[in-house]
Amino acid sequence: MKSSFLTSVAGALVAAAGVHAGCQNIAGNYYCNQVNAVSYNQVGSSGSYKQITAMNDDGTCSSQDKEYSGNLAPFDEGLSVHFRGPIALKQFAVYYKGDSGDNAEIYKREAEPEEDVKINIGSNRYGGHKHKRVYVTDTVYVTSTVHAGEVPPAPATTSSSAAPTSAVPTSGVNNNLQANAKVNEQSSAPASSAPASSPAGSSAASSSSSSSSSAASSSSSSSSSSGDWSRKSYYNAESGTGDNLVFMNNMGGAGSGVFDNNFGNSISYAGSDGTSCASKATVLDDVTVGSNKEFMIFSGDECGDDDCGYYRPGIPAYKGFAGATKMFLFEFSMPSDDSTGFNADMPAIWFLNAQIPRTLQYGKEECSCWSSGCGELDVFEVLNSGNDYLTSHIHSSQGASSSGNGGGGGTSDYFERPTSGTLRAAVVFDGDSSTVSISKVDGTGSFSDSYSDSDVSGWSSTQSSKANINLST
């Protein structure tokens, strides 16, 4: 994994302040409360990232500044959806609200990343996780103002939780983690809380847990009005359905895509097993993809002459799922895997700015926009082998003291990993409210063609346990 200098700051704070007894430390990450929903609020900022403009014959890459702004930015740009085994994807669907289902990516120049999985290219340059992320191993629970470089006072005794993937979290309602790594105590803390989470010294987030008594509804609407969510892409493993989407992986050069010694394997069409390379778009079979194997989903819309920007020559180039308001439904299982080695038994689902896999997902930092903050959202991720807790985290420049992906935030509250049976879940990007919500969805059978807005909002708002994270603005 990609480390941060903030690890040492967080470690010092842990040593000085201790942690709350209600949370547990597993392999350097803190886990507090099992929840059924997580809401990231105040998502979106203004800034720029390095957009790739060329992958050169000498192995270097060129880039230009790409500005972004607005609600959910840069997550309103085209996103690709990534999966790491062990995982069995049973259903996947993408919805747009009203008439907003245009997949046209909203920037004129965008980059296409790829991964360096070729065996003779060498190990993953970013370490532990095969997708790109900032990973801080030490966190701390504090209830008073703490500045980076200072020794904090002893914490008050209160119910609190810490973040598994970034630095100095704190407990209580509406606690704020500021851009200079200070934590402001608020007046009250619930019995069950979810922390602010941010790479120390660079991002800002506040979090809380809330409760309600009613279960989520998964009923669907019988008609599609301007406020309804209409399905635009769909996959069903049991029926072999694949509509308006493309399965890809990073095995280019053996049927589709390309391989060279400078950049390794490009993206390629995935075979029906998810892990081999195919010569054309192929629907994923009803299979379990094993540990340390990855595949990804793009929209079914091919990139045109100038609507995806730059991408690596020779790849099958497809658009990501763009727009500030969009919804993704998943049904999946993550069975236990007794394999050993790199990324063994560490399943994950995450979103990347689609420019990243179309250029270079794994490899030289200067050959993708990832390190400059174009966006990653981890929605269901196991952080160490054999763990049954699924965490979430936003990686972006929002709240960072300088450009890059050191902002965003996360929570130490977690979803239960579905090792037997399946988990049905919704990830809703709401541009109007600047919110990204992740929630369990009850129900059985195929996902509906459409859902009412009240159904969708209810999936998150009526959950019995929920974590709220407010990113810095």
pLDDT of residue 295: 99
Residues of the chain with pLDDT under 50: 1-18, 106-204, 206-225
Which DSSP letter does residue 370 get?
A: G
Q: Answer whether residue 412 is part of any domain.
A: yes
The two tokens of residue 198 are 């941010």
Residues in the chain: 473
pLDDT of residue 103: 57
Are 110 and 308 in contact by the 8 Å Cβ rule? The answer is yes
pLDDT of residue 277: 98
pLDDT of residue 175: 28
pLDDT digits (tens, 9 = 90+) for 271-303: 999 999 999 999 999 999 999 999 999 999 999
pLDDT digits (tens, 9 = 90+) for 146-192: 232 333 333 333 333 333 333 222 222 222 222 222 222 222 333 33
* Structural domain containing residue 325: 6-471
pLDDT of residue 226: 56
Strands 466-471 and 37-41: parallel
Total domains present in the chain:
1
Q: Answer whether residue 411 is part of any domain.
A: yes
pLDDT of residue 40: 98
Are 291 and 83 in contact by the 8 Å Cβ rule? The answer is no
Q: Answer whether residue 1 is part of any domain.
A: no
Q: Answer whether residue 147 is part of any domain.
A: yes
pLDDT of residue 194: 34
Q: Answer whether residue 397 is part of any domain.
A: yes
Are 203 and 403 in contact by the 8 Å Cβ rule? The answer is no
Give 390's contacts (C-beta < 8 A, 6+ positions apart).
334, 380, 381, 382, 414, 415, 416, 417
DSSP assignments along 98-164, one per residue? TT------S-S----------GGG-S-TT-SSSS--B-------BSS---TTSPPPPPPS------S
Handedness of CA 130, 133, 137, 139 (dihedral sign): negative
pLDDT of residue 269: 99
